[in-house]
Amino acid sequence: MTVSAVVKTYGRGSAEVRALDGVSAGIPRAQFTAVVGPSGSGKSTLMHCMAGLDLVTSGSIVLDGVEITELSDRALTRLRRQSIGFVFQSFNLLPQRTAYENIVLPVTMAGGPPNHKLLDYLVEVLWLASQLSHRPAELSGGQQQRVAIARALVTRPAVVFADEPTGNLDSRTGAEVLSFLRRSVDDLGRSVVMVTQDPTSAQYADQVLTFEDGSVIEIAVPDADTEIPVVPVIASSRRPAGASLAGCPS
């Protein structure tokens, strides 16, 4: 995904806010990109524009060769359903549906059957086997976020956008969630873009875009040899060697 000279303004005249002030950045395929910066610097606005949830004022955003800023509403909706997965701070699960129904919802809404090999894999690595029949209110925050990650990955999207995915979790549970996002890059070849205010979360990323006042002021590549925090079961290195998904359809 390539973002070129993107400007996004809200309001007019003296009330105009320039949320994005000519942002350019590459989002490499099958890599984990973290977007960091102070509150109000434009991180969420960029993510909403990249996900086709908000229109740019000017500039270009290309996903898999498609200029998404020129798509119709209908085409954008299709793009979001087929090519984009979302993970939100507040989980956004449907309260009346079970964990299983929430996970497969994007596939059933598109009229297709779920890919059972992928589904089995997601349920196993996200430790959800014993929670599938539970409703969200019966799950912990970490369990709900793991359901949301499975839901985001079940359509095999080109990009997963995660907006403060650990914001409502304690640090240990947050580390688990970050490890799962890391694995969705390493094991399933997904591209992940995560907005976060937490600098330690950015340690899980391959590249870190730092925002200030609507502009990217730094693009950094964290040291690949840096150890990231250890969480149970999941390996501690940036590229976990254990429990790989060999043979799992990506």
Ligand X SMILES: Nc1ncnc2c1ncn2[C@@H]1O[C@H](COP(=O)(O)OP(=O)(O)OP(=O)(O)O)[C@@H](O)[C@H]1O
Q: Is 44 in the site for ligand X (CB under 6 A)?
A: yes
Q: Is 199 in the site for ligand X (CB under 6 A)?
A: no
- Each residue 10-39 as x (binds ligand X by CB under 6 A) or -, in order, gives xx-----x-x-----------------x-x
Q: How far apart are CA 169 and CA 191, in angstroms?
A: 23
Among 23, 32, 43, 93, binds ligand X (CB under 6 A): 43
Q: How far apart are CA 12 and CA 176, in angstroms?
A: 43
Q: How far is the CB of 158 from ligand X (least distance, A)?
A: 22
Indicate the residue among 168 and 197 with the shorter CB distance to ligand X.
197
DSSP string, 84-118: EEEEETT----TTS-HHHHHHHHHHHTT----HHH
Q: How far is the CB of 212 from ligand X (least distance, A)?
A: 9
For the chain, the 3-state helix, strand and coil shares in percent, each to the nearest 5, are 35, 25, 40
Q: Is 197 in the site for ligand X (CB under 6 A)?
A: yes
Structure tokens at 205: 């990323």
Q: How far is the CB of 123 from ligand X (least distance, A)?
A: 32
Indicate the residue among 28 and 40 with the shorter CB distance to ligand X.
40
**Ramachandran assignment for 64, one of left (phi > 0), alpha (psi -120 to 50 degrees), beta (any other):** left
Structure tokens at 11: 């309001």
Indicate the residue among 14 and 39 with the shorter CB distance to ligand X.
39
Q: How far is the CB of 246 from ligand X (least distance, A)?
A: 38
Indicate the residue among 110 and 220 with the shorter CB distance to ligand X.
220
CA atoms lying within 13 Å on the CB side of residue 229? 16
Q: How far is the CB of 149 from ligand X (least distance, A)?
A: 21
Q: How far apart are CA 43 and CA 20, in angstroms?
A: 9
Q: Is 249 in the site for ligand X (CB under 6 A)?
A: no
> Do 173 and 201 contact (CB within 8 A), yes or no?
no
Q: Is 201 in the site for ligand X (CB under 6 A)?
A: no
Q: How far is the CB of 211 from ligand X (least distance, A)?
A: 6
How many chain residues are in contact with ligand X, going by CB under 6 A?
A: 13
Indicate the residue among 44 and 115 with the shorter CB distance to ligand X.
44
Q: Is 145 in the site for ligand X (CB under 6 A)?
A: no
Q: How far apart are CA 221 and CA 110, in angstroms?
A: 37
The burial class, CB within 10 Å (0-12 / 13-18 / 19+), for 199 is exposed
Q: Is 41 in the site for ligand X (CB under 6 A)?
A: yes
Indicate the residue among 204 and 211 with the shorter CB distance to ligand X.
211
Ordered strands of the 159-163 beta sheet: 84-88, 159-163, 191-195, 32-36, 207-212, 215-220
Q: Is 210 in the site for ligand X (CB under 6 A)?
A: no
Gap between the terminal Cα atoms of the chain: 18
Q: How far is the CB of 10 from ligand X (least distance, A)?
A: 3
